[in-house]
Homo-oligomer: A and B are copies of this chain.
Amino acid sequence: MREGRRVGKEDPRRVVHALKVGLALALVSSFYYYQPLYDNFGVNAMWAVMTVVVVFEFSVGATLGKGINRAVATLVAGGLGLGAHHLASFSGPTIEPILLAIFVFVQAALSTFVRFFPRVKARYDYGILIFILTFSLISVSGFREDEILDLAHKRLSTVIMGGVSCVLISIFVCPVWAGQDLHSLLASNFDKLSHFLQEFGDEYFEATKDGDIKEVEKKRKNLERYKSILNSKSNEEALANFAKWEPRHGQFRFRHPWKQYLDVAALLRQCAYRIDTLNSYFNSDVQVPMDIKKKLEEPLRRMSLESGKSMQEMSNSLKKMTKSSSSDIHVLNSQSACKDLSTLIKSGILNDVEPQQMISLLTTVSLLIDIVNLTEEISKSVHELASAARFTNKKKSKVSFEKSNPVSIGRVKPIISNDDDDDHVVTILGDVDTSNHVDQSRGGSSMDSSNHVVIKIDDDEDSIHEKHEDSSNVHVHTTCVSCGQTSASDVCNSGNKRIDNRETK
C-alpha cells in the first residue's frame, strides 16, 4: 500500500493509465457480451482482448507503435500464412504437415535472426514477434480448419478493432505523449545540472555548518539529482523511438527532430560525468584549506554560476520552445571568468600552495574549465535543435541585472542581456547598483550614477563595438573589439563577431 502511494505520487499519470487500461478492456469485453457482435466474431473476439492487453502502453507513441506493428504484421503474416497453407495443400496429406513444419521452421528462424538487427530491434521488434506468431498459427491452423480465409479475416478485424480502441483511448483520454516526456526530461536534465553548478560555489567555498543534519542531507540529495542523468541513455532512446510514432501534438510536429534531442542529451551526459568527478572532490580525503580556495573563489564561483545560468536559460528556452540567445551571454561570461582565472593563476597566486592541495584545487579548476567548454558545445547544439524544431523567436526584450558579488576581488563582472528581435546587446560591466534600473530602448545606451561600462552593439551584426562609459572618471570612449580603434564614433570598417571582455580603467 505504501509502495503504491509512493509510485502514484511520483507520477499521478500512472493511476490514470491503469484506469484507462481497465476501461479499454471492459470496452472490448462487449465483443462477448453484445449478441450481434458475438454472432459476427465468435471466439475470435478474444483477439481483441489480447490485443488490448498487449498493445496498451503508457505513452501514445508506444501504443501507436505496437498497434501499427501488430496490425501490419498480422496482415502480412496472415497473407503469407494463407499462401503457405495453399502451397502445402497441393501435396498429399502425408507430405503436407512436413512441408508446413518446414515453412514454420524457416520463417521462425529467419525472423528471429532479423530481430537481432539493431535498427529492426529498435522499432519493429514487436511486429516481427507477431509476424512469427500469426504466420505459424494461420499456416498450421489451415491444416485443420476449412474456412481459413474467414478465420484470417475475423482475426485481423478483431486485432484492428482492439488496436484502434487502445489508440483512441490513449490519445483522447488524458494522453501521455512520449515526445512531450522526452522534451520535459531534457529540460529537467538541464535544470539538474544547472542547480548543481549554481550551488557549487556555496558548497565549495562555504565551510560545512554542523547545524541541522537533515537540512544538510536534503541539500546534498538535491545537489546529487544530476546522478540520474548518468544512466539516462536507454530511457531517452526509448522515448525518442516512441516519439517517432506520434502524430502532431501541441507544439510537436510529426517529424520533430527527436534525434537532435538525443544529441543534446549525450552532451549533457558528458557534462554530468565531469560533474560527478567534481562532486567526488567534495567528499575526498584531500581537503584544500579554505584560505587557499578563497584565492580563486571569485572566478571559480563565476564560472560555475554563469555555466549554471546558461543551462537555466537553455532549459527555459526549451520549456517555452522559443529561440533565445541569452544563454550565449552567460556562456561568454563564463568564458571571460575562465580568462580571469587563468590571469589570476599566472600572477603566481598559488606559488606557496602544497602540491597535494594544488592537485586537488587545480583539478577542480580544470573540471570547471571543461564544463565551461562543454556548456558552449551544448549551447550550440541547443541552437541547432531550436532551428530544426522551428522554435519561435522570443518576443519580449529584457535587461538583466546582477547584484555585485560581495566576494568580488575588484575585477569586472559582465552581465549581458540580449534582445533577439532588435539584434543589439547591452552589457553592463563592473559593479552595478541594483537600485539603478536602466531603461533600454532600441539602439540606445544605458546611463546610471554608479561606475559601469556599457558595450553597445549596433543592428549591423558585423560591427561590434564597445562603449566604455565611466561616469566617475568622466572618461567616455568607444573601442572596436577587432581592430582596437578607440573613438567617439560608433562605426568602424572591420567586422568582428566576438565580444571581448575589457576591464575598466
Which of A21, A38, A129 has the most chain B CB atoms closer than 10 A to its own CB?
A21
The oligomer's copy count stands at 2
Contact: B277 with A105, CB < 8 Å?
Answer: no
Known: A4-B113, A18-B110. A25 touches B132 (CB 8 A): yes
Smallest beta-carbon distance A351→chain B, Å? 8
Known: A22-B104, A133-B50, A140-B29. A363 touches B356 (CB 8 A): no
Complex CA–CA separation, A172 to B117 (angstroms): 26
Known: A46-B141, A53-B136, A104-B25. A15 touches B113 (CB 8 A): yes
Contact: B231 with A29, CB < 8 Å?
Answer: no
Smallest beta-carbon distance A372→chain B, Å? 13
Smallest beta-carbon distance A59→chain B, Å? 13
0/1 per residue, A11-44, Cβ < 8 Å to B?
0001101110111011001101100001000010
Name A's interface SS.
Answer: helix
Q: Which of A370-384 contact B (CB under 8 A)?
A: 370
Is A409 in contact with chain B by the CB < 8 A criterion? no
Contact: A49 with B143, CB < 8 Å?
Answer: no
Which of A46, A114, A140 has the most chain B CB atoms closer than 10 A to its own CB?
A140
Is A473 in contact with chain B by the CB < 8 A criterion? no
Residue of chain B at shortest CB distance from A361: B362
Contact: B144 with A32, CB < 8 Å?
Answer: yes
**Of B15, B19, B100, which one neighbours A29 at CB under 8 angstroms?**
B100
Contact: B370 with A345, CB < 8 Å?
Answer: no
Is A280 in contact with chain B by the CB < 8 A criterion? yes
Contact: B104 with A26, CB < 8 Å?
Answer: yes
**Of B53, B105, B129, which one neighbours A23 at CB under 8 angstroms?**
B105
Known: A54-B129, A141-B46, A342-B356. A113 touches B18 (CB 8 A): yes
Residue of chain B at shortest CB distance from A120: B3
Q: Which residues of B contact A129 (CB under 8 A)?
A: 53-54
Smallest beta-carbon distance A135→chain B, Å? 10
Residue of chain B at shortest CB distance from A238: B234
Residue of chain B at shortest CB distance from A369: B359
Chain A contributes a number of interface residues (CB within 8 A of B) equal to 75
Q: Which residues of B contact A133 (CB under 8 A)?
A: 49-50, 53-54
Complex CA–CA separation, A239 to B358 (angstroms): 43
Smallest beta-carbon distance A449→chain B, Å? 38
Is A122 in contact with chain B by the CB < 8 A criterion? no
Residue of chain B at shortest CB distance from A374: B280
**Of B110, B132, B143, B367, which one neighbours A32 at CB under 8 angstroms?**
B143
Contact: A108 with B25, CB < 8 Å?
Answer: yes
Q: Which residues of B contact A106 (CB under 8 A)?
A: 22
**Of B97, B136, B342, which one neighbours A355 at CB under 8 angstroms?**
B342
Contact: B33 with A97, CB < 8 Å?
Answer: yes
Which of A43, A110, A136 has the most chain B CB atoms closer than 10 A to its own CB?
A136
Is A137 in contact with chain B by the CB < 8 A criterion? yes
Complex CA–CA separation, A387 to B28 (angstroms): 55
**Of B277, B345, B365, which one neighbours A273 at CB under 8 angstroms?**
B277
Smallest beta-carbon distance A129→chain B, Å? 7
**Of B15, B29, B359, which one neighbours A366 at CB under 8 angstroms?**
B359
Contact: B143 with A33, CB < 8 Å?
Answer: yes
Is A233 in contact with chain B by the CB < 8 A criterion? yes
Is A346 in contact with chain B by the CB < 8 A criterion? yes
Contact: B22 with A105, CB < 8 Å?
Answer: yes
Complex CA–CA separation, A354 to B21 (angstroms): 65
Is A422 in contact with chain B by the CB < 8 A criterion? no
Residue of chain B at shortest CB distance from A363: B366
Residue of chain B at shortest CB distance from A53: B133
Complex CA–CA separation, A430 to B101 (angstroms): 71
Q: Which of A178-204 contact B (CB under 8 A)?
A: none
Contact: B342 with A33, CB < 8 Å?
Answer: no
Contact: B108 with A22, CB < 8 Å?
Answer: yes
Is A388 in contact with chain B by the CB < 8 A criterion? no
Complex CA–CA separation, A380 to B69 (angstroms): 48
Is A173 in contact with chain B by the CB < 8 A criterion? no
Contact: B104 with A29, CB < 8 Å?
Answer: yes
Q: Which residues of B contact A231 (CB under 8 A)?
A: 231, 233-234
Q: 24 A-B contacts, Cβ less than 8 Å apart?
A: A4-B117, A7-B117, A18-B112, A21-B109, A22-B109, A26-B104, A29-B100, A29-B140, A30-B101, A32-B97, A32-B140, A33-B143, A46-B137, A46-B141, A49-B133, A49-B136, A49-B137, A50-B133, A53-B136, A230-B273, A345-B358, A359-B365, A359-B366, A362-B363
